[in-house]
Amino acid sequence: MSKKPESISKARTTALIGRWILAVVLVVFSIFPVLWIVSAAINPVNNLANQQLIPTNANFDNFRELVSNPIFPFFTWMKNSLIISSVSTLLTVSLTTLAAFAFSRFRFKGRQGMLKSILLIQSFPNLLAIVALFTIIKQIGDVVPWLGLNTHAGLILVYSGGAMGMNIWLMKGYMDTIPRDIDESAHVDGATDWEVFSKLILPLLRPILVVIAILSFIGTYGEFIIARTLLTQRETQTVMVGLQIFTAGQYTQNWGVFAAGALIAALPIMIIYLILQDQIVGGLTQGSVKG
Amino acid sequence: MNTLDASKADFTRKAFSNIGKLVTIIIVTIVDVVLAWFAFKLFSLSYIPIGICIILIIAMISIAFLVPKAHMFKWMALGLSAWLLFSIFPIIYTIYNAFTNYGDGHLISQAQAIEQIQAQTYLPETGKAYQWIAYRSESKEYLLWLKDAEGNTKLVTQVDVEGDAEIPLVTGENGIGEIDADGAPVTIDGYTRLNRILASTDKNLTNIKFGDPEKTIQVRSPSEAAELQPLYAYDAEANTFTNQLTGIVYTDKEGTWTSRSGETIIPGYSAVIGIKNFVTFVNSPGLRGPLVTIVIWNFMFATLSLLLTFSVGLLISIIYGDPKFKGKKLLRSLLLIPYTIPSLITILIWRGMFNPQFGVINRVLVSLLNIAPNWTTNAWLARTALLIVNTWLGYPYWMLVTSGALQSIPHDIYEAAQIDGATGWQQFKSITLPLLLVSVGPLMISSFIFNFNNFNLIYAFINGGPPIPTATTQAGYTDIIISYVYNLAFASGRGIQYGYASAISLVLFLLIAVMSLLQFKFTNMWEEVGENV
């Protein structure tokens, strides 16, 4: 806060120095793991025990190893992750927006009850129902194999179906702030509901659409436990599952390669944050917690 | 002119709307038919619950699109279908499982279990018998020639070898040579006819099953082969099995057919056992003991995580919120970094850094203080490490949230306080904190709930370890309820216990639901629904 009495006059300099020292400590705390992993990635030593912060003979051996290692089809995993996250984001956003429009614009019996139960059920962690999710996908797959276990489509369905609750609320809350006079006058002019939605409301939703899209992309990209349960074949898995499996093995001996993989896997999300920082911050304060 | 145009437009509009309605009906019918086929297939595989789910979805879609009054449900039909299948149904299924013994030994349905038990066979010592002659190939595959009491002969193949169960006894076909007086082939191409002595020294022969998988035939003695008989006879009315060899009757006890002396038939099936799972969890010391530890740690972990992340975040936004502070923007970007990396990745990095032998943290500690704390085997050190990592992961969130909230506190309040001579700490205690808590309180609850269920951190960083020695299932000192439940359901080696795991899930869900309701009350979300905008 700007109005602190300590910082009135003579104590000001001391306080400033104190702040800078604290700032340095905090920054070291916050970026050390990142520096450490960057250093590990370019350090040809490749094991945890002999890693130094400033590597001697830095090179890209670890990245080359990552490309060529057949046991860890890293770039297939990256591709899988990006496809799964993009498609489920697209699905989640479309389904939520449509549903939220109905909740925001129409008044019908059971509306309140539905909204409340959606919210309450959302608080049940998906993870606890993982046995059920596995069973459902297995049984669906017995009839329609391309939706079953080891398929991306099945996992995408699970992600999209599980993400409805909070997002419907976020979206509905935002739509409620758009005055209904707009659509009423459009209705008077003979516009259908669909026209009101697609031509009037949708363009105004851009900020919240971006927030929901980013958050669900980040959420699905980082999810690994459901993905690991439903995708058991190496080539179908996602990069997070891959990295997690990697650390279950002798990863202290393969630390450099792991680091290289971790860096590449973190890249898409870091880029999203850099570009869309302000929108994300907006979304966070509206009640979403990063997954 | 204008009115004419208008009526023309009106006409076109109506025509279009009629065509639109027709197209809707056609599409909805197609979707319904496809889904109905899907449901039918599910039912025929006896996946009843999920089949019912699909039927519900068909009903919902049809009503939403075809009943004009229900037009608003069109908008949510797809979303609700996905929600029903992948949010509601799993919860109902979990609740149901909580009252069953679904798990190792009880993984299948009753019908499947009966079928599997009925498939178990034994070789009767008396009864219908065949004379036999065996033929052996180079690759140790066998053919068996059989002759029953009426003189009927046949040549059968092994059950586990693909192809026909029986080979017609015709000379010249399938390599069959001359037929002798008994009706047996003298030679079969690629096979050696085994004489009595060869046959009786062949150890494999008596273990091989021949013929039709439904009516398997096995060699019983050098002179006889016989059809295998089902070992258990099922009495559908009494729901009992009787062992045909011993005559012991097994009655169905909660999904396991048990004899009076306590012997059981494997497999059992998944049966409803009432509240037994809940009773077990209260009564069994091996299960309850670790659970108490885990629940206490779960609350501690969530509370401490919230306090630490919140205080560090708030501290940063108070100290560096000063607009006159130079480098504020750069600092904020640097401090935000932990937030921009997928948490699983950073958790795994921290795991490497905390490695007691090779990790950088212990290497630094050894060179500075000559100590090497064992972060993975000491319970409190492991918990400390987790809290450090979680603080790192979580403070940027609170930095962002509190810096926004602080800006919305009006400045004149502080000015008034300064005039009254309030110190910085007094101002913080009686102005900043209370006002802040009002605006970020709900977020604190959701952050608490998030950490209460922070499975990723616990699982990926240390997988709940170090283990609690007295526990009968996999449980560790850093386990929280959700990771404990996950291990109950999935940990390899100790037996899968879905039923019990579901029961604990249910209790956990109730806990979370109470916390969520509290949060909704704080946020006025309930009231928001009611507003009639």
Is B210 a residue whose pLDDT tops 70?
A: yes
Round to whole Å and give the CA distance between B322 and B411.
13
Is B265 a residue whose pLDDT tops 50?
A: yes
- Average pLDDT on B189-209 reads 80
| Confidence bin at B62 (pLDDT 50/70/90) | very high
Give tens-digit pLDDT for B436-486: 887 788 788 888 988 999 999 999 998 888 988 887 778 899 999 899 888
Closest C-alpha to A158, from A196, A177, A131: A131
| Confidence bin at B256 (pLDDT 50/70/90) | confident
Q: Which residue of B has its CA nearest to A115?
A: B529
Is A1 a residue whose pLDDT tops 50?
A: no
CA distance B141 to chain A (A): 34
Question: Does residue B22 sit at the A interface (CB-CB below 8 Å)?
Answer: no
ipTM, 2 decimals? 0.86
The pLDDT of residue B407:
81
Give tens-digit pLDDT for B497-513: 888 888 888 888 888 88
Contact B270, B258 (CB under 8 A): no
Q: Which residue of A has its CA nearest to B448?
A: A289
The pLDDT of residue B9:
65
**Helix segments in B327-480, DSSP class H:** 328-340, 343-353, 360-369, 379-407, 411-419, 424-427, 433-452, 455-462
Round to whole Å and give the CA distance between B458 and B464.
6
Q: Which amino acid, one-letter code, is at B86?
A: F
Give tens-digit pLDDT for A111-154: 988 888 888 888 788 888 888 898 899 899 999 999 999 999 99
The pLDDT of residue A286:
59
Question: Does residue B527 sit at the A interface (CB-CB below 8 Å)?
Answer: no
- Average pLDDT on B372-398 reads 93
| Confidence bin at B1 (pLDDT 50/70/90) | very low
The pLDDT of residue A231:
92
Contacts of B439 in chain A (CB under 8 A): none
Is B530 a residue whose pLDDT tops 50?
A: no
Sign of CA dihedral B60, B56, A92, B530: positive
Q: What is the mean pLDDT of chain B?
A: 84
Is A255 a residue whose pLDDT tops 60?
A: yes
> Cβ atoms within 10 A of the Cβ of B337, count?
18
| Confidence bin at B52 (pLDDT 50/70/90) | very high
| Confidence bin at B237 (pLDDT 50/70/90) | confident
| Confidence bin at B6 (pLDDT 50/70/90) | low
Question: Does residue B20 sit at the A interface (CB-CB below 8 Å)?
Answer: no
φ, ψ at A230 (rounded to 5°): -85, -25
| Confidence bin at B61 (pLDDT 50/70/90) | very high
Would you call A96 and B357 a contact, using CB atoms and an 8 Å cutoff? Answer: no
CA distance A155 to chain B (A): 10
Closest C-alpha to B522, from B432, B430, B428, B449: B449
How far, rounded to the nearest angstrom, does the alpha carbon of residue A260 sit from its chain's CA centroid?
A: 21
Determine the straight-line distance between the first and last CA of chain A, rounded to whole angstroms. 30
Q: How many CB pairs under 8 A join A and B?
A: 279
Is B397 a residue whose pLDDT tops 80?
A: yes
CA distance A220 to chain B (A): 10
Question: Does residue B529 sit at the A interface (CB-CB below 8 Å)?
Answer: yes
Is A91 a residue whose pLDDT tops 90?
A: yes
Is B10 a residue whose pLDDT tops 80?
A: no
CA distance B190 to chain A (A): 41
Would you call B335 and A252 a contact, using CB atoms and an 8 Å cutoff? Answer: no
Would you call B525 and A169 a contact, using CB atoms and an 8 Å cutoff? Answer: yes
Is B418 a residue whose pLDDT tops 60?
A: yes
Residues 6+ apart with CB under 8 A from B202: B134, B136, B194
For residue A160 the two structure tokens come to 């999209």
Point out the least confidently predicted range of A73-77, B264-268, B393-397.
B264-268
Question: Which has more confidence, B389 or B264?
Answer: B389
pTM: 0.80
The pLDDT of residue B520:
78
Would you call A98 and B75 a contact, using CB atoms and an 8 Å cutoff? Answer: yes
- Percent of chain B with pLDDT strictly greater than 90: 21
Give tens-digit pLDDT for B293-348: 999 999 999 999 999 999 999 999 888 877 777 777 788 888 888 888 999 999 99
- Average pLDDT on B252-258 reads 87
Contacts of B38 in chain A (CB under 8 A): 143-144
The pLDDT of residue A290:
43
SS3 at position B437: helix
- Percent of chain A with pLDDT strictly greater than 90: 30
Q: Which residue of B has its CA nearest to A246?
A: B348
For residue A254 the two structure tokens come to 């393969």
φ, ψ at B225 (rounded to 5°): -125, 155
The pLDDT of residue B531:
47
Contact B218, B206 (CB under 8 A): yes
Contacts of A287 in chain B (CB under 8 A): 442-443, 446, 523
Question: Does residue B293 sit at the A interface (CB-CB below 8 Å)?
Answer: no
Is B399 a residue whose pLDDT tops 80?
A: yes
- Percent of chain B with pLDDT strictly greater than 70: 94
Is A291 a residue whose pLDDT tops 60?
A: no
Binding-face residues of B in 98-117 toward A, CB within 8 A? none
- Average pLDDT on A177-198 reads 88
